[in-house]
């Protein structure tokens, strides 16, 4: 467990060691504000078992108010039903994915506790803190949101900023870190336009920390700014594709 921010009333914790076997490494994030908690992108069943036990040891689990799902990938939503059944938390999920995630087996009673996030985003109030759920569509999913916490000034970017193969939890040397992000962003981010729209929005927010769902965090203002500048330089997805699809022999 890594503490990204801590004050008398507010804590931002990151769990990065629960992935195993063939799973892509994933971070799970917890925001605690005035005793109330929200988990971001909690992952699949094996992670659920470990994370639930860890949370119960550090935090009053009955105060887990919200589950946030940035998009529909299995490394995010696969254990949705277990989280809903074992906690009293309400869930937030991009509107365009609600009916798809139901295929993971979300019981009808539990499904009533899932709020669809409209395309324009919304505000979630956690322990008196207004967390901004901001649109980040096509970064990478077509219905995709990020969370900005105005108290810690952390922007949780989901798959944007991911470095799944980095073997450290925090970036120190940005230039040396680029190799762990380049291939992922070129292949998993579909649209250069979407990346540029994100850059413009995030320059206005000016976060102190950028915390992705995979790999290392950018936990100084200088590194967060470097990441935004790097994103601005990218050509990704369909824009980096060749000219033709070719049927294999
Ligand atoms: Fe994803
Ligand atoms: Fe992911």
pLDDT band of residue 111 (cuts 50, 70, 90) is: confident
CA of 244 to the centre of ligand 1 (A): 26
Whether 199 shows a pLDDT value over 90: the answer reads yes
- Name all domains of the chain by residue range, CATH numbers in brackets: 2-240 (3.60.15.10)
Whether 102 shows a pLDDT value over 90: the answer reads no
pLDDT tens figures, 172-196 = 999 999 999 999 999 999 999 999 9
For residue 106, the model assigns a pLDDT of 84
Q: How far apart are CA 71 and CA 96, in angstroms?
A: 9
For residue 86, the model assigns a pLDDT of 94
| 139 alpha carbon, closest ligand | 1
| 19 alpha carbon, closest ligand | 2
* E strand segments, 7-128: 10-15, 28-33, 36-40, 64-68, 90-94, 114-117, 122-126
Residue 180, SS3 per DSSP? helix
Sheet (strand 114-117) strand order: 2-6, 10-15, 28-33, 36-40, 64-68, 90-94, 114-117
Q: What is the DSSP string of 24-59?
A: PP--EEEEEETTEEEEE---SHHHHHHHHHHHHHHS
CA of 97 to the centre of ligand 1 (A): 13
pLDDT band of residue 104 (cuts 50, 70, 90) is: confident
pLDDT tens figures, 201-213 = 999 999 999 999 9
pLDDT tens figures, 70-100 = 999 999 999 999 999 999 999 999 999 998 8
| 162 alpha carbon, closest ligand | 2
Collect all residues with Cβ–Cβ distance below 8 Å to 239 and sequence separation of at least 6. 191, 192
pTM of the model: 0.97
| 43 alpha carbon, closest ligand | 2
CA of 159 to the centre of ligand 1 (A): 6
């Amino acid at each position: 467990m890594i503490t990204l921010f801590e004050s008398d009333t507010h804590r931002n914790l990151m769990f990065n060691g629960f992935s195993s076997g063939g799973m892509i490494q994933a971070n799970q994030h917890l925001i605690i504000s005035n005793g109330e908690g929200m988990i971001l992108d909690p992952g699949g069943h094996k992670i659920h078992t470990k994370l639930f036990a860890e949370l119960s040891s550090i935090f009053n689990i009955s105060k887990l108010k919200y589950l946030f799902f940035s998009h529909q990938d299995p490394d995010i939503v696969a254990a949705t039903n277990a989280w809903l059944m074992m906690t009293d938390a309400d869930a937030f999920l991009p509107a365009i994915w609600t009916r798809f995630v139901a295929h993971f087996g979300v019981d009808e009673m539990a499904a009533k506790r899932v709020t669809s996030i409209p395309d324009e985003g919304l505000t979630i109030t956690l322990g008196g803190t207004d967390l901004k759920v901001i649109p980040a569509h096509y970064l990478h999913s077509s219905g995709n949101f990020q969370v900005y916490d105005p108290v810690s000034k952390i922007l949780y970017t989901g798959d944007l900023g991911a470095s799944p193969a980095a073997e450290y939890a925090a970036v120190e040397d940005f230039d040396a870190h680029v190799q762990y992000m380049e291939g992922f962003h070129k292949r998993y981010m579909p649209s250069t336009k979407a990346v540029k729209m994100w850059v413009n929005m995030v320059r206005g927010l000016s976060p102190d920390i950028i915390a992705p769902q995979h790999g290392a965090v950018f936990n100084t203002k200088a590194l967060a700014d470097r990441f935004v500048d790097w994103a601005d330089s990218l050509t990704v997805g369909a824009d980096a594709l060749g000219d033709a699809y070719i049927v294999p022999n």
